[in-house]
Amino acid sequence: MSEKLETKKYVFTVEGETEQWYLLWLRDQINQCENRKYNVSIEAKVQQSPKKFYKTVNAKTTPEVFHICDVESNEPVHVEKFRNILSEMKEAKTQKRITYSLGYSNFTFELWIVLHKRDCNGILSHRRQYLEHINMAFRESFENLDQYKHEDNFKRCLGKLTIHDVREALKRADVISANNEKDGKVRLLYKGYTYYRDNPALSIQEAIGKIFKDCKI
């Protein structure tokens, strides 16, 4: 594939380093695809506050941003944190004319990672229960999520993934969304953004799917 391909740019703000490492890995995987129609530039900044980020950029250079974050739980402290994020995303449009799109995971980003290898359709009662799914999906034996999130360990898991696995994750995520709709789960609306109160649920696939569609891979 010619190196003269036009480059499409995508800007993300993310909650932690695992999300950042994943997106940079995804960039490299896409740019290695022989059948791609475009190269990809992905900027992934670790910044939990959309407001702190949008204050540093302008709509001309950064008209659209995807924010990747977790719902974490229905506990008041996590609900308030999540809604504050949505409020800041809304402010970006009204104050800076920057469009912020939401890519959430309920409970956590680990749901999206697991979906690359296997289904994860059951309801969990706590975030730490993703550890079992991570270990089964990647044939690992991490003792806790902090160990899994260590850079060497997380990147070893990424090394077991391919662009095909990303496509499978997109399909599995869409199944979860379809099942939630079919089952009549409560979809909440706040500041113009919608999300499901109960897990499993996610919308990160919308951002990743857009990149795939734009690049025609």
For the question of whether the overall pTM of this predicted structure is more than 0.85, the answer is yes
pLDDT at 217: 87
pLDDT at 3: 58
Exposure string of 43-65, with b = 16+ CB inside 10 Å and e = fewer, is ebeebbebbebbeebeeeebeeb
pLDDT at 4: 85
pLDDT at 2: 47
| Residue 144: both structure tokens together | 């806790």
**Low-confidence residues of the chain: pLDDT under 70:** 1-3
Q: Is the peptide bond before 107 cis (omega within 30 degrees of 0)?
A: yes
Taking a C-beta distance cutoff of 8 angstroms, is the pair 100, 65 a contact? yes
pLDDT at 29: 97
The CA distance from 145 to 134, in Å, is: 9
pLDDT at 117: 98
The CA distance from 53 to 58, in Å, is: 10
